[in-house]
Amino acid sequence: MNFEITIAKTKDIKADVEVIFIQGENLEHRFIQDKKLLKKAGFKASQDEVCYLLERDRVYVGIQELEGKYIRRAAAKAIRAIKSKKYKSLKVASYTNKGCTYGIRAMVEGFVLGVYEFDKYKSTKNKNNIKKIIISTDEYSEYELDIQKASIQMHKGELIAQATNLTRDIVNTPPDDCYPKVMAKIAKKVAKECGLECDVLKVSDLQKEKMNALLAVARASRHKPKVIHLAHKPKDAKIKISIIGKGLTYDSGGLSLKPSDFMVTMKSDKSGASAVIGILQAVAKLKLPIEVHGFIGAVENMIGGDAYKPDDVLVAKNGKTIEVRNTDAEGRLVLADVLCYAQEQVKADYIFDLATLTGACVVGVGEYTSGVMGHNQNLKEMVVREAHYCGELATALDFNDYLKDTLKSKIADISNISNTRYGGAITAGLFLSEFIDEHHKNKWSHIDIAGPAYVEHEWGENPAGASGAGVRMMIKLIEKLTLKTPHQK
Ligand code: BES
Ligand code: ZN
Ligand code: ZN
């Protein structure tokens, strides 16, 4: 799909179909030429309500407020309704929150995210015929828009949504077609296309690096683990950020085997890593003036004679000993080593990790929301705020010392599971905290994306399956951090 922006009014633009958003029941708006028909159809203009007028070649969609998150969802609904019809071109006006051109970015994101479908394995594909989208700067609430600014936002929206779709593709790919070696291949390809640095560590390197917790998790799989380091290093970089992604290309649970109903969808346990690849692609294409490092622990957690076991004691990269009491709590073992490696490699101003870490997080906050943890209250609040701004849901979960005590082991420095069945998302976060150096504690935030990364039904701008959770959130956050001067850290 190609995007174009113009100052011409929509009525003067030639296109096969028009999309019109309506806020509330305001059918008197000058954009609406089909008032009678809409009334007849009982159109209430509630959020996401679509009215497709085939004979007029117009699609009306309701929006709750003139805000990015509502516009994005509505744009996704609109394009889904007509993508496989005969139309090749689409025209649409501008909708902004009091003239802020972010509304254009959100709308473009909505179109690109809405048109996405994972049909690689389908014999019959539900093709998208729309090739061109023409946006008019004619604004719904009569705000004057600067076409230059609008055009930049349009471009950003397109790149960010494409990166999100790349992440979705990786996550949706079945585990026997996407294993650690394939993840490394994808990372290398993206790096080559966008001018990123890419370093891949193989087993012998991981042994040298003493990443024994990660190696233990990987041992029973026929697919060897990889640690992938992607880097965007612009000359004008103001600050450095590291993002670490959990990349379990399959999580069977290991010897603490998952029940069959819980094993399905575990190809999505590579969502954090896949988001890291998407984020690095977007950061490079957007040429953001910030140094961004992505670290991925790509591993498959399987069973077999060589599998690591409950009762094993592992020595992580930083020398801490871990009593394994459940091999299904593997993500934290992989991340422990990759977090140590990332801190050793890069002296970052901020460290984030993205991980489908716990079912407990999904139980606690629901499947659409990420849990944001860490020791720095301001940083957590910033992550939550920026996530909401770009249409992702996130909420802060607070650490406490009582839960920290539940990770104590009688025979090692720490146990890989807590001794209580409550607060599992937080105890997993507290486990990770043990692998963050003291001087980095306030720079780090852990984001548990176990819920939103993969949902088996359509929601908002997201299709059934992978959503690309974390990509938009992180880009927005990086943009925000870019604007901050170092002393504001
Ligand atoms: N990958 C899972 C977490 C998960 C669950 C992600 C559901 C997405 C949806 C993780 O490795 C895991 O199995 N965690 C265990 C931890 C437990 C053994 C302490 C869990 O959440 O049950
Ligand atoms: Zn697991
Ligand atoms: Zn897992």
d(CA 223, CA 123): 28
- CA 477 → CA 37, 82, 472, distances in Å? 43, 33, 8
Which residue from 460, 463, 483, 479 is spatially nearest to 471, judged by alpha carbons? 479
Q: What is the pLDDT of residues 251-281, one digit of tens each?
A: 999 999 999 999 999 999 999 999 999 999 9
Tell me if 358 CB under 6 Å of ligand 1: yes
pLDDT of residue 487 exceeding 80: no
Amino acid in position 243:
I
Which residue from 359, 354, 363 is spatially nearest to 387, judged by alpha carbons? 354
Which residue from 458, 459, 460 is spatially nearest to 64, judged by alpha carbons? 460
d(CA 370, CA 164): 16
Tell me if 417 CB under 6 Å of ligand 1: yes
Closest ligand (CA of 455): 1
The residue-averaged pLDDT of 318-338 equals 98
pLDDT of residue 25 exceeding 80: no
Q: What is the pLDDT of residue 238?
A: 85
Q: What is the pLDDT of residue 230?
A: 99
Closest ligand (CA of 426): 1
Task: With H, G, I as helix, E, B as strand and everything else as coil, classify residue 217.
Answer: helix
pLDDT of residue 456 exceeding 80: yes
pLDDT of residue 391 exceeding 60: yes
Q: What is the pLDDT of residue 99?
A: 96
**Computed from CA positions of residues 380, 385, 391, 394, in that sequence, does the dihedral angle turn out positive or negative?**
positive
The stretches of 322-470 forming alpha helices (DSSP H) are 331-345, 359-365, 377-389, 401-405, 424-433
pLDDT of residue 95 exceeding 60: yes
Q: What is the pLDDT of residues 32-41, one digit of tens each?
A: 999 999 999 9
Amino acid in position 350:
Y
Task: Determine the residue of 308, 353, 358, 422 to mutate for testing ligand 1's pocket, defined as the one with the most ligand atoms within 8 A of the Cβ atom.
Answer: 358
- 172 pLDDT band, cuts 50/70/90, is very high
pLDDT of residue 486 exceeding 70: no
Copy the structure tokens of residue 156.
């950003």
Q: Name the phi and psi angles at 434, rounded to 5.
A: -65, -15
Q: What is the mean pLDDT of the chain?
A: 97
Q: How far is CA 34 from the centre of its chain?
A: 38
Cβ atoms within 10 Å, residue 381: 12
Q: What is the pLDDT of residue 489?
A: 45
Give me the active site residues, please: 258, 332
Task: With H, G, I as helix, E, B as strand and everything else as coil, classify residue 131.
Answer: coil
First vs last Cα of the chain: how many Å apart? 39
Contact partners, residue 284, CB within 8 Å, separation at least 6: 194, 195, 196, 232
pLDDT of residue 86 exceeding 50: yes
d(CA 71, CA 101): 12
d(CA 299, CA 365): 27
Q: What is the pLDDT of residues 428-450, one digit of tens each?
A: 999 999 999 999 999 999 999 99
Tell me if 329 CB under 6 Å of ligand 1: yes
CB 282 within 8 A of CB 194: no
d(CA 42, CA 52): 12
Q: Which domains does the chain have, with CATH numbers?
A: 2-162 (3.40.220.10), 178-481 (3.40.630.10)
Q: What is the pLDDT of residue 485?
A: 52
Q: What is the pLDDT of residues 214-248, one digit of tens each?
A: 999 999 999 999 999 999 999 989 899 999 999 99
Look at ligand 1, atom 8, and give the residue with the nearest C-alpha: 450
Task: Determine the residue of 268, 300, 357 to mutate for testing ligand 1's pocket, defined as the one with the most ligand atoms within 8 A of the Cβ atom.
Answer: 357
Q: What is the pLDDT of residues 100-158, one digit of tens each?
A: 999 999 999 999 999 999 999 999 999 999 999 999 999 999 999 999 999 999 999 99
Copy the structure tokens of residue 50.
């679509």
pTM, to two decimals: 0.98
- 303 pLDDT band, cuts 50/70/90, is very high
